[in-house]
Homo-oligomer: A and B are copies of this chain.
């Protein structure tokens, strides 16, 4: 039973909880398209599988796979992981999937945002995106929850919330003319309030340098808990990321959250800089309509792109020089959760990371 409601979550007393609140389940999508995932997507599939198995220890996990890949995904993954057939255009369920909202009295519903592949015909990463546009609705139907259809283009990775009224996003993405050119900043805040239940938006400026999503916040900064934000960081003044991270810290430190609190900012050193190698680029199909991958491209690497599971933090291993420090910082930030690193360079090559490829279903 999944009705499409004409009201909004806010009007109905629903809110998007923080990712650090308990989950019932996580959804993922099996990677496949050979114009984004090198070597027939096999290396990426191995890393997605490892992420799924790591999360499955913490919570129920469902992997979506296409008609062509269902059998291979099913045979690759352990029986604990549910594998459901679904057509998609790519594997970023954080962005194409639904945002679940709860009412604190046992109710759970979901928001189905409009999806246009990170920029539509003005810079989108591939064409078409017709199957991705249906992912949220299909997930909602499987879950059997009621649906809000939000009349705004938005990807889940472009917002983070503290579950207590504060929403974090970036101007680079949400004010980008390739998303909702007819909406003003105030219009967009209005939709965010209605569909997430937030009451305060903290606007950061640009996302991680080189991030092809138009600067999704989930690669830059993350709510650890209300009042505490993790921020990707570099001390290298010559790195374009330097000024981006400093600007974000300034904005966070001068902001007040929905409950009037100051925000504590904890920085996590960026890996790298990391670049696409010639060998890696060689394994990727060139296809008309898909963003090309060129050797030497700077990769938008960040440890902040981690998944907050109910009992585990799953973070990307990206650089031997910095992985341990990132793990230590995350473990201090999440003293009651096990922090587990999973090799994630292949996921990074596709344009995102562990947070981008997961979508939690909050517990009720």
Contacts and interface: CB of A to CB of B under 8 A. Distances in A.
Interface of A: 1-4, 60, 67, 70-71, 74, 79-80, 82-87, 131, 134, 137-138, 141-142, 144
Contacts of A70: 87, 134, 138
A74 B142 CA distance: 12
Given A67-B67, A131-B67, A84 B82 contact: no
B80 A1 contact: yes
Contacts of A80: 1
Nearest to A135: B85
A84 B1 CA distance: 12
A93 to B, nearest CB: 14
Copies of this subunit: 2
A1 B79 contact: yes
| Chain A interface main SS type | mixed
Contact of A82 (B60, B85, B144): B144
B87 A142 contact: no
Given A67-B131, A134-B71, A82 B3 contact: no
A143 to B, nearest CB: 9
Nearest 7 Cβ contacts at the A-B interface: A67-B87, A3-B79, A85-B86, A1-B80, A83-B141, A82-B141, A2-B79
9 contacts: A1-B60, A67-B67, A67-B131, A70-B87, A70-B134, A84-B84, A84-B142, A85-B85, A85-B86
Nearest to A3: B79
A85 B134 CA distance: 11
Given A71-B134, A137-B74, A2 B82 contact: yes
A119 to B, nearest CB: 24
Contact of A1 (B82, B138, B142): B82
A62 B180 CA distance: 36
Nearest to A56: B1
A337 to B, nearest CB: 23
A85 B87 contact: yes
A141 B80 CA distance: 10
A144 B80 CA distance: 9
